[in-house]
């Protein structure tokens, strides 16, 4: 008994002594420099070479949130790597920060595909342009999207024109070419005539074995709105963008390995509506906004139905509404999904990386966080 007591006190004293020593050491400049240098080397040394070797199709979730504020997620952004370059599908506000934190080689950004012209899908566009330009990207950055993307791109180019002049003057035009700072709109039009079932498609890009197809989806008044399908070396993934339940998307997703689909938990939105109505100090406009959100999005259960119809092995839910603050909320968010799709459903987190090795059925997951 006495030995146990002695061991307890010895352990307590050693923890206190070590703690005080750590606090004391952290105040010494040479210790601060060593630790700082080691951390910087570690984060800068992260290598993505493997993913750019042309032997796989990969996707990184750089933003899995909806416009509703989420402390752990940035807004819509998916980064697709095929060959020695990558593309973004949407550039939601905050998502450029993730690329910087993970030290993604931003000079390899070859283009951005905007699903539709809602702010939560394009608010980070100018920062993506800036970061990739500063990192050494060459030529104007192509931005594909529904008609109207020309106005968006012209507006961002104009809004950042003075910033560009300042940076070129400071670093010299030999180092930062002003032409590389620009974005170039590539409007994507669907074949005419329009179909009432909204099931049109068009190939947007075909280059070095990569095929990107725009697929019409149903985001109601926001038309046209697109999903994008990426096919590369026998593997395929589809990114839904924002859409209501839309069975033609399932048809267009056949043969894909992963479907990244938006998800709006209507049963949780209804509770938020109730909470706002019962809270006199809350801004009552939110009740209406939360009710109307349901008009043009898809519930997790309906997203699972689309995945089943498409027969995709993996459904990854993103653009999550409402925000999920803790993993304990996942069963509530996914309520009803298990009974129609017991396996092959995941909820995205920022930093999730999915790798699809060429000409195989393998799906490998990792996290950058
Ligand atoms: Zn959205
Ligand atoms: Zn939208």
Which backbone phi and psi does 340 adopt, to 5 degrees? -110, -20
Instruction: Using the predicted structure, report yes or no on whether residue 135 has a pLDDT greater than 90.
Output: yes
Cα–ligand 1 centroid distance for 94 (angstroms): 14
Q: What is the pLDDT of residues 265-302, one digit of tens each?
A: 999 998 988 898 889 998 888 888 888 888 899 999 99
Q: How far apart are CA 63 and CA 286, in angstroms?
A: 23
Q: How far apart are CA 293 and CA 276, in angstroms?
A: 15
Structure tokens at 54: 């042309």
Strands 364-367 and 352-357: what pairing?
Answer: antiparallel
Q: What is the pLDDT of residues 75-128, one digit of tens each?
A: 999 999 999 999 999 999 999 999 999 999 999 999 999 999 999 999 999 999
pLDDT score of 333: 97
Cα–ligand 2 centroid distance for 271 (angstroms): 22
pLDDT score of 9: 87
Cα–ligand 1 centroid distance for 4 (angstroms): 60
> Which residues place a Cβ less than 5 A from the ion ligand 2?
118, 242
Q: How far is CA 152 from CA 59, 119, 124, 137, 187, in A?
A: 25, 10, 12, 21, 11
Q: pLDDT class for 20, splitting at 50, 70, 90?
A: confident
Q: How far apart are CA 331 and CA 339, in angstroms?
A: 12
pLDDT score of 293: 84
Calculated CA dihedral for residues 54, 55, 59, 60, nearest 10 degrees: -80
Q: How far apart are CA 291 and CA 60, in angstroms?
A: 31
Cα–ligand 1 centroid distance for 352 (angstroms): 19
User: Whose atoms come closest to the Cα of 222: which ligand?
Assistant: 2
Which backbone phi and psi does 119 adopt, to 5 degrees? -60, -35
* Helix, strand, coil % over all residues of the chain, rounded to 5: 40, 25, 35
Structure tokens at 236: 């395929």
Give the helix/strand (H/E) hosting 136.
Answer: none
pLDDT score of 236: 98
Q: How far is CA 264 from CA 26, 75, 225, 249, in A?
A: 46, 14, 17, 17
Ordered domains of the chain (ranges, CATH): 57-367 (3.60.15.10)
Q: pLDDT class for 170, splitting at 50, 70, 90?
A: very high
Q: What is the pLDDT of residues 197-238, one digit of tens each?
A: 999 999 999 999 999 999 999 999 999 999 999 999 999 999
The residue ranking higher by pLDDT, 33 or 252, is: 252
Q: How far apart are CA 303 and CA 297, in angstroms?
A: 10
Mean pLDDT of the 315-342 span: 96
Which backbone phi and psi does 31 adopt, to 5 degrees? -70, -45
Computed from CA positions of residues 130, 147, 85, 175, in that sequence, does the dihedral angle turn out positive or negative? negative
Instruction: Using the predicted structure, report yes or no on whether residue 1 has a pLDDT greater than 80.
Output: no
- The percent of residues above 70 in pLDDT, for the chain, comes to 100
pTM value is: 0.92
Give the helix/strand (H/E) hosting 238.
Answer: strand 235-239
Residue whose entry in the numeric block shows the structure tokens 């170039």: 184
Cα–ligand 1 centroid distance for 297 (angstroms): 9
User: Whose atoms come closest to the Cα of 120: which ligand?
Assistant: 1
Q: What is the pLDDT of residues 95-107, one digit of tens each?
A: 999 999 999 999 9
Computed from CA positions of residues 257, 263, 266, 267, in that sequence, does the dihedral angle turn out positive or negative? positive
Q: How far is CA 150 from CA 116, 126, 154, 331, in A?
A: 13, 14, 6, 42
User: Whose atoms come closest to the Cα of 68: which ligand?
Assistant: 1
Candidates 70, 60, 65, 142; CA nearest to 101 is 60
User: Whose atoms come closest to the Cα of 117: which ligand?
Assistant: 2
């Amino acid at each position: 008994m006495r030995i146990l007591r002695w061991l307890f006190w010895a352990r307590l004293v050693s923890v206190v002594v070590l703690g005080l020593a750590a606090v004391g050491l952290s105040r010494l400049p040479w210790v601060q420099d060593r630790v700082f240098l080691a951390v910087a080397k570690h984060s800068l040394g992260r290598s993505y070479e493997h993913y750019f070797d042309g032997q796989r199709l990969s996707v990184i979730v750089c933003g899995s949130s909806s416009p509703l504020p989420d402390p752990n997620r940035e807004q819509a952004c998916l980064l697709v790597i095929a060959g020695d370059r990558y593309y973004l599908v949407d550039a939601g506000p905050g998502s450029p920060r993730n690329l910087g934190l993970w030290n993604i080689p931003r000079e390899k950004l070859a283009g951005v595909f905007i699903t539709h012209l809602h702010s939560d899908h394009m608010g980070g566009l100018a920062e993506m342009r800036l970061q990739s330009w500063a990192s050494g990207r060459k030529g104007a950055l192509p931005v594909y999207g529904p008609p109207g993307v020309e106005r968006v791109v012209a507006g961002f180019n104009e809004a950042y024109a003075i910033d560009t002049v300042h940076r070129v003057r400071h670093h010299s035009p030999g180092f930062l070419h002003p032409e590389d700072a620009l974005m170039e709109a590539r409007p994507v039009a669907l074949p005419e005539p329009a179909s009432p079932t909204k099931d049109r498609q068009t190939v947007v890009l075909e280059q070095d074995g990569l095929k990107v197809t725009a697929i019409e989806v149903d985001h109601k008044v926001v038309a046209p709105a697109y999903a994008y399908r990426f096919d590369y070396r026998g593997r395929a993934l589809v990114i839904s963008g924002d859409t209501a339940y839309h069975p033609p998307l399932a048809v267009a997703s056949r043969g894909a390995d992963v479907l990244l689909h938006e998800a709006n938990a209507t049963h949780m939105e209804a509770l938020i509506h109730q909470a706002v109505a019962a809270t006199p100090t809350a801004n009552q406009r939110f009740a209406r906004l939360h009710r109307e959100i349901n008009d043009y999005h898809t519930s997790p259960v309906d997203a699972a139905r689309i995945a089943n119809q498409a027969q995709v092995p993996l459904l990854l839910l993103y653009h999550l509404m409402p925000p999920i603050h803790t993993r304990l909320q996942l069963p509530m968010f996914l309520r009803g999904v298990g009974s129609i799709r017991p396996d092959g459903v995941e909820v995205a987190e920022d930093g999730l990386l999915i790798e699809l090795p060429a000409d195989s059925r393998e799906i490998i997951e990792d996290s950058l966080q």
